[in-house]
Structure 1
Amino acid sequence: MSWVTRLGFVAPAASAPSDEAALLARLAEGDAEALALVYRRESGSVYRYALALAGDEAAALDAVQEAFAQLLRGPLGYQAGRGSLGAYLAGMARHQLLNQWRDARRHVSLDEADDEAELFPSSDARLDDAQQQSQLWTAIRRLSWPQREAVVLVDLQERSYEDAAAIAGVSADVLRTRLHRARQRLADLLAVGERP
């Protein structure tokens, strides 16, 4: 069983662009039921993305709340040609997490700046084997933010390269490069962890 399978992440459900456009038009008109439909459809995958990226439930919940609040304030800001509605919401959650991360980094001494374990604690409830999960999340936390994000989006959430690139705000080629380097680094980190 691969480490991605052990994490139990599920790819987000796809919805038709015309359906998304209709929901957003209703949302722009103040239809509360439209917001509820969008939330039911997209909140789970946005939350899982934020939780996997941050490793902290409170930070993930704040990011999801802010993403939906931004959507409510400006539903017509979403452009279907740039990716799915789920990708748009995940991108807003990502920006919120980056802001949290930057704020936290400003308050960390230089001695602690390289120790991201304190900024992104892991959640041990995701795997059956707590030891494997701990090793995996320790390795993921040691990745740079761009590499960690690429792994979370593509390997954990099983998003397409195009969708993941739209969320990360980079080209698909840049995302593929980050993902390749992240996978190499993870393999090295996990191999070191397995040695006696």
Structure 2
Amino acid sequence: MSWLTRLGFVAPGAAARSDEGALLARVVAGDADALALIYRRESGSVYRYALALAGDEAAALDAVQEAFAKLLHGAQDYQPGRGSLGAYLAGMARHQLLNQWRDARRHVPLDDADDGESGESGSDLRLDTAQQQAQLWTAIRRLSWPQREAIVLVDLQERSYEDAAAIAGVSADVLRTRLHRARQRLADLLAVGERP
């Protein structure tokens, strides 16, 4: 169990589906039921990825919508040898978020999670966990885009290095380097937040 899982972050199941090719062939043929099935299977994890990366619900929803719209019109472009269908959809959502981010020419705004509460109520454990989660999300949002993406893909969504690298559009070695630096930066940010 990873340290993120202990703080309450639950990664989606990553079971491979052998019928992806058949479903995509049905989508290409215009079968709306096949697209609906893919949406039910994959939209949750694509949304969680986009939300964690963007830190903004509206941007995440737009990215998911754009990914599935592109799948509807370009299902024949999916290449199973380059990663899972979920990774392909997450990659399309990522590109949408990057375009939004570039258009805005600014980083996602930071949320100030520290509200001055000391956690001394009868629900100390729940409050402490909620405060830890808020501090963690605030720190994740302060990472650079490539570092944030690496943390989200590998540590939060528990994707394989290969799947995460395919989504990010980099080699597995580059992804590992980004992840290592992101973990170091995150540890530094969290350590600073814990000082009195």
* CA distance in 2 between partners of 1:150 and 1:122 (Å): 23
8 Å CA contact 2:11–2:158 kept in 1: the answer is yes
CA shift at 1:8, angstroms? Answer: 2.2
The equivalent of 1:9 in structure 2 is: 10
Match of 2:149, as an amino acid? Answer: E
Q: Distance in 1 between matches of 2:89 and 2:29?
A: 19
- Note the C-alpha offset of 1:136: 1.1
Partner of 2:184: 184
Q: Distance in 2 between matches of 1:55 and 1:184?
A: 21
Paired residue type of 1:68: F
AA in 1 matched with 2:94: R
Tell me the residue number matched to 1:95.
Answer: 95
Q: What is the number of residues matched between the two proteins?
A: 183
**Structure 1 unaligned spans of 5+:** 106-112
Structure 1 residues 92 and 122: CA distance shift in structure 2, 3 A: farther
Residue number in structure 2 paired with 1:172: 172
Structure 1 contact 135–193 (Cα < 8 Å) conserved = yes
8 Å CA contact retained: 1:10, 1:158? yes
Determine if contact 1:55/1:121 at 8 Å carries over to the other structure: no
CA distance in 2, matches of 1:14, 1:117: 31
Say if 1:122 and 1:97 are closer, same or farther in 2 by CA, change over 3 A: farther
TM-score (normalizing by structure 1): 0.87
The change in CA–CA distance for 1:137 and 1:182 in structure 2 (over 3 A counts) is: same
- Corresponding residue number in structure 1 for 2:150: 150
Q: Is the 8 A contact 2:154 2:164 kept in 1?
A: yes
Inter-CA distance 91–191: structure 2 relative to 1 (3 Å threshold): same
Q: Which amino acid aligns with 1:29?
A: A
- Shift of residue 37 of structure 1? 0.7
Instruction: List alignment gaps of at least 5 residues for structure 2.
Output: 114-125
| 1:24-173 alignment runs, 5 A limit | 24-105=24-105, 116=107, 118=109, 121=111, 129-173=129-173
Q: Greater CA radius of gyration, 1 or 2?
A: 2
2: distance between equivalents of 1:122 and 1:6?
Answer: 19
Moved over 3 A (4+): 120-123, 127-130
Using the aligned pairs only, state the percent identity. 78
Q: Quick check: 1:43–1:64 contact (8 Å CA) kept in 2?
A: yes
CA contact (8 A) 1:117 1:138 kept: no
TM-score (norm 2): 0.87
